[in-house]
């Protein structure tokens, strides 16, 4: 399994101009805006449009939705003009393909992972999503999807198809992202709670620290592969 350049860093759940600028100044490739009302990182469309205006041309804008209809999705795309849709719910492969067609946007499908058997779902999405995000499965009683700040057992990815350029999320933070990259060699990493000072409150310093650690680790892995 190898890292295919360019390595991507995504900061998700941004909600203020200050933290967005920290992500941009730190060199984030993608910024995520959350539209799931139950998430502590939920923002209104009005705020999202303001943030997108700051980010446009500097990083790719990702709109995160959970089990939305085609109508909801196309209306969001018309208002926000994101570069990507991140589908973080129970969207089937058929629904994923339909949303991709209707929106005219690239689609990232998040799949929850807790054990090796969860990886079987990847096959059905590879041809209908532009990118796969492997995230930690939420607790059974969770009110919203995502890793909830907890990494999954990365050893389950040992038998993953080395040709799959996936992004890795779930419990990543400035302290463990280098190890995650070294062990898993993803094409990119996605962080949200790992760069927060409190639930839903991003920390600009942690954002910059995370991006720097991820870039350094990815460069070291790539250098080792080409040496």
pLDDT of residue 149: 64
Catalytic-labelled residue, pool 29, 127, 130, 135: 135
pLDDT of residue 2: 54
Beta-carbon count within 10 A of 210 CB: 25
Catalytic site includes residue 130: no
Distance between CA 161 and CA 60 in Å, rounded? 26
- Among the listed residues 48, 222, 151, the one whose alpha carbon sits nearest the alpha carbon of residue 134: 151
The string of DSSP codes covering the chain is: --PPSSPEEEE----SHHHHHHHHHHT-SEEEEE--TTSTTB--HHHHHHHHHHHTTTSEEEEEESS--HHHHHHHHHHH--SEEEE-S---HHHHHHHHHHHTSEEEEEEEESSGGGGGGHHHHTTT-SEEEEEEPPPTT-SS-S-TT----GGGGTTS-TT---EE-SS--TTTHHHHHHHH--SEEEESGGGEEETTEE-HHHHHHHHHHHHHHHHHHHHHHH-
User: What homologous superfamily is domain 8-226 in, according to CATH?
Assistant: Aldolase class I (3.20.20.70)
pLDDT of residue 144: 52
Catalytic-labelled residue, pool 12, 127, 130, 141: 12
Q: CA 74 from chain center: how many Å?
A: 21
Catalytic site includes residue 135: yes
pLDDT of residue 1: 52
**Token pair of 25, please?**
């100044």
- Among the listed residues 158, 160, 159, 187, the one whose alpha carbon sits nearest the alpha carbon of residue 169: 187
Q: Phi and psi at residue 30, in whole multiples of 5°?
A: -140, 140
Q: Which residues of the chain have pLDDT under 50?
A: 147-148, 227
Count Cα neighbours of 26 within 13 Å in the Cβ-side half-sphere.
Answer: 28
User: Which residues neighbour 71 within 8 Å (Cβ) at sequence distance 6 or greater?
Assistant: none
Whether cis (ω within 30° of 0) applies to the bond prior to 6 is: yes
Distance between CA 163 and CA 133 in Å, rounded? 14
């Amino acid at each position: 399994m190898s890292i295919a350049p360019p390595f991507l860093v995504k900061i998700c759940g941004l909600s203020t101009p200050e933290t967005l600028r920290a992500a941009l100044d730190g060199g984030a490739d993608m910024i995520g805006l959350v539209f799931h009302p139950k998430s502590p990182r939920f923002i209104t469309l009005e705020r999202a449009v303001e943030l997108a205006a700051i980010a446009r041309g500097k990083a790719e804008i990702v709109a995160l939705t959970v089990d939305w209809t085609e109508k909801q999705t196309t209306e969001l795309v018309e208002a926000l003009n994101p570069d990507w849709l991140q589908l973080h719910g129970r969207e089937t492969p058929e629904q994923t393909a339909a949303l991709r067609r209707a929106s005219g946007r690239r689609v990232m499908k998040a799949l929850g992972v807790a054990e090796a058997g969860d990886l079987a779902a990847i096959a059905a999405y590879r041809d209908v999503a532009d990118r796969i995000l492997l995230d930690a499965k939420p607790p059974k009683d969770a009110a919203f999807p995502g890793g909830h700040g907890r990494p999954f057992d990365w050893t389950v990815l040992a038998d993953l198809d080395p040709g799959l350029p996936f992004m890795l999320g779930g419990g990543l933070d400035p302290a463990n992202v280098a190890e995650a990259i070294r062990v898993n060699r993803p094409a990119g990493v996605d962080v949200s709670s790992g760069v927060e000072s409190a639930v839903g409150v991003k920390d600009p310093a942690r954002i910059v620290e995370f991006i720097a650690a991820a870039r350094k680790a990815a460069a070291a892995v790539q250098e080792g592969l080409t040496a």
